[in-house]
A and B are shown apart, each in its own frame.
Chain A
Amino acid sequence: MLYVFVRAVGGGTDVWMRLLQTRLWSLLANTLTLTLAVTAGTLILGVCMAWLTERTDLPGRTVFRWMLALPLAIPAYIGAIVHLALLRPRGGYVPQFLDWLLGHPVNTPSPLGFAGASFMLILFLYPYVYLLSGAAFRSLHAALDEASHLFGRNNWQTLWSVTLPALRPGLTAGALLVTLDILAEYGTVTLLRYETFSSAIFVQLSGRYDRSAASVLSGVLVLIAIIALWGELRMEGKAQYTQLDSSWRHAPPIRLGPWRFPAFLLVSGVCFASLIVPISVLAAWSIQAFSNQQLLSQVMQSGSRTILNFAFNSLWSAGLAAFLAVTLSLPVALFAKRYPGKLSRVISRLCQTGYALPGVVVALSLVLVVNRALPFLYGTSFVIVIAYILRHMPQAVRASEAALTQISPSMEEAARSLGRTSIQSFFQVTLPLILPGLLAGGALVFLTSLKELPATLLLRPAGFDTLAVRVWIWAEEGFYTQAAPAALLLILASVIPLSFLLKREQIFK
């Protein structure tokens, strides 16, 4: 992985640096403003939603908990396709409807550019923050609130002086996930014509096929991502605020009183925009596609391949990546947890750097490395699987480490003292116990691999289409109705691992 990074940076020369200098700054400004805006937006929206569903007597909060988390199954660019089709200044459904209603053209705000990109990304990335802060709200001890009240703070002051500071570890983790996702985001920003590092690298790679320029841009992008990762680790530090001891009680919900109605409207609005609108528009398009014989055949059959081929490609590549990532993460996690030391910490941290490698960068590095070192892999679909593994390995490592942390080393020692070798202890005791945790890690890798767009687009061999790729290609050409069934299928395939993951979370129990 280090080699990949060095190659990416070393690929650039001073000449290219000078040539790119002017563009570099505008890209940097674009990327950073988008990152800051979306991270801030998701923090506000995510914490608001988590607070309302976890700490207040909001009506229907058990249903909302699920509805607010489900947008994770919708790739941001698919959401953006729907919203773009609705809001496009000319030809969008909403402007057309207003035109028909009022009898004259209405100027609606354009969803393209910075504002639109921020809006859509906030809408589809807030669940990360929502889930992490929801879990943190849930684990807070009632005594914290009570102590604060005894010292004379009211609800509002308690929220700011006790609750939110206690939430900080969850919030920084959520913010980091969002930040890294935005840095890696390709589909949405391209669709909305807002150029960031990732989309610029993609253009360099696919259009002009200019690897040196792409390398320089990648170097800067990875640097930003690593700074974000480092910042999170620094902020997280030793802070471990959430404690669950035997005397733990859930804090009683705060009464919203007259605010119940506006709060209900707000949460419904978020669910509407991020979940109901995309799903129902896609469903409507799908019905339209299925009722038109010619369109239907185009959906089902594209050249010699059918929609089942795309689905199958999606499933096996993501599934294989999930399986391999979890399998590879096990020795790393075992080493880090059972033999803690400098070396194991370094290895574990190295595996985390994949977080900081956006899909385009992974693709670029793989193109470079595979060409030189493993030419026989070039142009095969296995390169895509390798890209998924590199990119999503950190999730698998984190999940495996978390699962192993749950198991006290005395379990393994007990098996040893009852006559099992260390290998037998692993298979008879450790593995069955960490299996649910490993499955969760695998589900996460599967889910994110399924959605991965830029790396797949760049690395796929000719004719290898996944659902994500097909949806993107059709949508880019404007064939929305044709893309809808595949998009729905992709979302459906994501909902299964997602609901498995959500059921493991405290807030859905």
Chain B
Amino acid sequence: MIALEVHNLSKSFDSVLPAAVSDISFSLERGEIIALLGPSGCGKTTTLRLIAGFERPDEGKVILNDRIMADRTTFVPPEKRGISMVFQDHALFPHLTAKQNVLFGLNKQPKTAAQEKALGMLRLVGLEHLSERYPQELSGGERQRIALARALAPNPIVLLLDEPFSSLDADMRVEVREQVRAILKASRATAVFVTHDQEEALYMGDRIAVFRKGKIEQIDTPQQIFHAPNSRFVAEFIGSTDFIPGEVVEQGIQTEIGMLPQFTKLPSGTKVEIALRFDDIQFKPQAGSKSLVLERQFRGAYNIYRLRLPSGNLVHAMQPHISFFKPGTPVQVSFVSDHPLAIFRNGLAVDY
């Protein structure tokens, strides 16, 4: 069943500036988590606020559980939409205890039922023992979970999360996001999750919508987004990607590091770009080669080498942690051919 539908949503704040959001459409199954991913200022937060009802759309529709929330003629205020939200700064009410914060959204239920539900939510997030504490007395991660419990308590149709982990320290972020995903899945919540951190999106989202300049560039599962980006922008944004130029020939694609045996429908002679991640190329030392090692970055479990190709293009390649090459070593670079690579023509993915 579809919980949320967004049709052709557009919003601009200033007639001089380009639209913050233009022509956004997607829908969300019940129980699904979608991550809106993009650089800052790409419109992902505006989309979230349009769904919440904190902003009015210029064009388009927001539909929750088949009820129209916003279109040209209707505008349902946020308190009547049946959504809830986890804010970037958590926005816990400092004059209320953790439990009272959770109870805040349960005011329409009978007292005893509300109490029980609030305790249940606190138990779900594992903070029952801190229910009488005030937000100021909780750690960042605990506040995060109380905010989540408060948002989940009224059984929202859709839960909105606005960069919920950005206020946490880096070492806590991974742990908290694992807890949050487990809680969301345990309560079968439908959620829209905004982030600018690709790793977070890949982990949290059942699907990811990549935003660029107010538009959705690609919307797909994390695996698809990673392995089959449909534009150069998405490939660049997800994973650390280098690009090298190539030319379509009969046997595949000819590049400066050799032939990529991958066939396209493009006519011979077409110029394309190939997206390369660390593990897509390998190299070995070879005297007289025009490709050089520039730098080694030690990452613990492996080494990342920055290489300069004869044309001057820079690429990165992964090597085991025991392999050491000095900067300046001439090397021969080649493809690792165990899976097809993403190929772009004029910034868009090429079918193969």
Residue B74 at the chain A interface, CB threshold 8 Å:
no
Please determine whether A417 and B94 come into contact, CB atoms closer than 8 angstroms. Answer: no
Q: Which one of A408, A416, A418, A433 lies within 8 Å of B154 (CB-CB)?
A: A418
Asked if A411 meets B93 with Cβ closer than 8 Å, knowing A417-B84, A418-B105, A419-B154, the reply is yes
- Cβ-defined contact, A433 with B94, below 8 A: yes
User: Is B52 a contact of A417 with CB atoms below 8 Å?
Assistant: yes
Given A410-B87, A411-B93, A421-B77, the answer on whether A416 and B108 have CB atoms closer than 8 Å is no
Chain B 91-130, CB within 8 Å of chain A: the 1/0 string? 1111100000000110110000000000000000000000
A416 touches B105 (CB 8 A): no
Which residue on B lies nearest to A420, using beta carbons? Answer: B79
Task: Given A419-B154, A432-B95, A433-B94, decide whether A414 and B107 contact each other with a Cβ distance below 8 A.
Answer: no
Which residues on the A side are within 8 Å of B53 (C-beta)? 416
Instruction: Determine whether the beta carbon of B54 is less than 8 Å from that of A416.
Output: yes
Residues A419 and B105 in contact, CB atoms below 8 Å apart: yes
Contact flags (1/0) for A400-427 with B, using CB distance below 8 Å? 0000000010110111111111101000
Identify which of B80, B83, B91, B104 contacts A410 (C-beta below 8 A). B91
Residue B141, interface by CB 8 Å: no
Partner of B107, one of A416, A419, A432: A419
Query: A419 contacts B79, CB within 8 Å?
Result: yes
Q: Which residues of A contact B78 (CB under 8 A)?
A: 413, 416-417
- Judge whether B212 is part of the interface by a CB distance below 8 angstroms: no
* A82 at interface, CB cutoff 8 A: no
Cβ of A429 within 8 Å of any chain B Cβ, yes or no, is: yes
Tell me if A417 and B83 are in contact (CB < 8 A): yes
Given contacts A413-B52, A413-B78, contact A418 B150 (CB under 8 A): yes
- Is there an interface contact between A416 and B77, defined as CB atoms closer than 8 Å? yes
Instruction: Give the dominant DSSP class at A's interface.
Output: helix
Judging by beta carbons under 8 Å apart, are A413 and B87 in contact? Answer: yes
For the complex formed, measure the closest distance between the CB of B193 and the CB atoms of chain A, giving whole angstroms: 15
Distance in angstroms between the alpha carbons of A348 and B105 in the assembled complex: 34
Q: Is the CB of B105 within 8 A of A411?
A: no
Given A419-B105, A419-B107, do A413 and B154 touch, yes or no (CB 8 Å)?
no
Number of A-B contacts (CB under 8 A): 58
With an 8 A cutoff between CB atoms, is B89 at the interface?
yes
**Do B77 and A411 have beta carbons less than 8 Å apart?**
no
Contact among B54, B79, B95, B104 for A433, CB-based, below 8 A: B95
Contact of B77 with A414 in the complex, beta carbons under 8 Å:
no
Tell me, rounded to whole Å, the shortest Cβ–Cβ distance linking B144 to chain A.
14
Q: How far is the CA of A421 from the CA of B76 in the complex (A)?
A: 11
**Chain B residues whose CB sits within 8 angstroms of the CB of A417 once the complex forms:** 52, 78-79, 83-85, 151, 160
Q: Which of B46-93 contact A (CB under 8 A)?
A: 52-54, 77-80, 83-85, 87-89, 91-93
Pick the residue among A411, A420, A422, A432 that contacts B91 (CB under 8 A): A411
Give chain A's interface residues, CB within 8 Å of chain B.
Answer: 408, 410-411, 413-422, 424, 429, 432-433
Q: A416-B53, A419-B79 are in contact. List 20 more A-B contacts (CB 8 A).
A: A410-B88, A411-B93, A413-B52, A413-B78, A413-B85, A414-B87, A414-B92, A414-B93, A415-B93, A416-B54, A416-B79, A417-B151, A418-B79, A418-B105, A418-B150, A419-B108, A421-B77, A429-B93, A432-B95, A433-B95
Question: Closest 5 interchain pairs by CB?
Answer: A418-B105, A410-B91, A414-B91, A416-B78, A410-B87
24 CB contacts below 8 A, A to B, read A408-B89, A408-B91, A410-B89, A410-B91, A413-B52, A413-B78, A413-B85, A414-B85, A414-B87, A414-B92, A415-B93, A415-B104, A416-B78, A417-B52, A417-B84, A417-B85, A418-B84, A418-B150, A418-B151, A418-B154, A419-B107, A424-B79, A429-B93, A433-B95
Name B's A-contacting residues (CB within 8 A).
Answer: 52-54, 77-80, 83-85, 87-89, 91-95, 104-105, 107-108, 150-151, 154, 160
